[in-house]
Structure 1
């Protein structure tokens, strides 16, 4: 099911963001992504974000771009 991000989803979505960036951008220091983790969580709470969820687990997310 696709639905709008809820406040309770932010930790799970931020974990997906971090894991994906660590894997996709292996040539950038992992510390860079970890240093931005809290900022990203704050930004997620202020953005229009949708998640794909199945059995209460979030698998993907997408920020709406205008």
Structure 2
């Protein structure tokens, strides 16, 4: 069941973010993601509109996405649920919730880049993230009907 994040979901969301980040960003400096946990918990999540995918009947969270306006700031799936449609379900909902979407993804995260391209996102530019020095692709989705 996809629903809005509740306060009691915060630790599970942070756990999904950390485990998925460590798995998909092995190219990052060791310890980087652990050093960002408090910012995720106390800064980024409270500033975002967060939607979670809850697995019935267990109530366990399989993944989440976070928006800041038209910017898809995060879409993370717990490693044990990857490849089972959770990310696609969340992204399709995001595409229905917003008339257009923008995001940044590390260029070296080729799996995520391919996922977004498969779902209609195109690369619009690049930038280097100041905190990490990593190149990011700026990607956008704009449905044909909106063009």
Q: TM-score, normalised by structure 1?
A: 0.90
* Cα distance in 1 for residues equivalent to 2:45 and 2:5: 9
Quote the RMSD (CA, aligned, Å).
Answer: 1.1
* Count of aligned pairs between the two proteins: 66
Cα drift, residue 27 of structure 1: 1.3
Cα drift, residue 46 of structure 1: 2.6
* Cα distance in 2 for residues equivalent to 1:46 and 1:10: 13
- Which structure shows the bigger proportion of residues in helix conformation? 1
* Cα distance in 2 for residues equivalent to 1:11 and 1:58: 11
**Structure whose CA Rg is larger:** 2
Q: TM-score, normalised by structure 2?
A: 0.43
User: 2:60 matched to which residue of 1?
Assistant: 57
Q: Gapped runs of 5+ residues in structure 1? A: none
User: 1:45 matched to which residue of 2?
Assistant: 46
Matched-pair contact (CA < 8 Å) for 1:13–1:58: yes
User: 1:29 matched to which residue of 2?
Assistant: 29
Q: Gapped runs of 5+ residues in structure 2? A: 71-147
